[in-house]
Amino acid sequence: MNLLLEGLREMLGAEPRRPAPEDYSEEARKLHAFKKTPEERERRRRMIAEELAHKKESFAWRKWRWPTIIVINLLFVISYHFDVQLVEGALTASRVLGFHFADLNSALQVMLAFKEVLINLLIGVTTVAILWWLVGGRSFCAWTCPYHLVSEWVEMLHLRLAAKGWARDIPLDRRLRTVLYVVFAALAFGTGYMVYEWISPVGILSRAIIYGTWISLGWIAVLLFIELFFVRRMWCRYMCPIGMTYSFIGATSPTVVHYDLEKCLHEGECRKVCLVPHVLEITKKGRATRPHIDIGADCTRCAMCIEACPTGALSFRIKGLDKLL
């Protein structure tokens, strides 16, 4: 429970806490003590040097994740343009084979703006909430959101420019996302309009892809320009209220990224690639309070850390099912 609450606290923008001595389990204490021995330190140093010398960028999960985002969004396009009525609407609200789906944040905006709960909206929210609870965390972001995909491509270019000194990564306060979440909710309630939907890059990009409303993409271009040269993954990391909504839903999900302290070299490759590196603070030396820990609610389940980890210390896990296999 303490790990869950800590994960939610960090999701709201708080800085990760350094554990108190009483927080550590006996097994974790022994592992940390063993890793401090000269022999183990030297072994890890050699392993890190060897791994980094032969390091190759892995696309083990991206070869599944990127096509998944593209296919899901193409289904909307095909259904609309060929009138097959399999997937109607857009990511903000849709019907799939007759079943209603509604983005949780968009549904909240509607209910706050119109001060009523529509039955179809309630059905759509329930369906989506169950689906993304099963998958876990902010997996909507990494496996469905078209802006996440475009921003990820821009990030790859940003890192190359930053290595040459042509781009900077200016850190913002992560509490900004929580503030914006409250502000947009208050604006919807106070004005009667879904103000957030006017600037949501997710909704704008989804509708542009489906209906060809390209004139609204100027805002997307501005965001991507800032992310390319000044703030790495600014919208997804520091601003998007949609991600926060799914973090709340997926906080207790059975599907998690699992951390094994014994296998970890603490070289930090996972944190370098992570969209939300605060969830991987436990991979730093001396931070893990248990030998086995599930990564917190703000994790996008993008699997970038799993691809980057040289020793398999990070992996996907389905709670309960792994004990049956």
Q: What is the pLDDT of residue 8?
A: 84
Q: Write out the two tokens for 131.
A: 């689906």
pLDDT tens readout for residues 176-222: 999 999 999 999 999 999 999 899 999 999 999 988 878 789 999 99
Phi-psi region of 317 (alpha: psi -120 to 50; beta: other; left: phi over 0): beta
Supply the DSSP string of 175-222, one letter for each residue.
HHHHHHHHHHHHHHHHHSS-HHHHH-HHHHHHHHHHH--GGGHHHHHH
The confidence score (pLDDT) of residue 324 equals 45
Burial of 132 (0-12, 13-18, 19+ CB in 10 A): buried
Residue 242 has phi, psi (to 5 degrees) of -60, -45
Extract the tokens encoding 118.
Answer: 């529509």
**pLDDT attached to residue 1:** 52
pLDDT, residue 325, reads 44
Collect the ranges in the chain with pLDDT lower than 50: 324-325
Q: Where are the domains of the chain?
A: 2-10+20-40+254-324, 62-248
Q: Which residue in the block uniquely carries the two structure tokens 């704008």? A: 204
Q: Give the separation between CA 222 and CA 197, rounded to whole angstroms.
A: 17
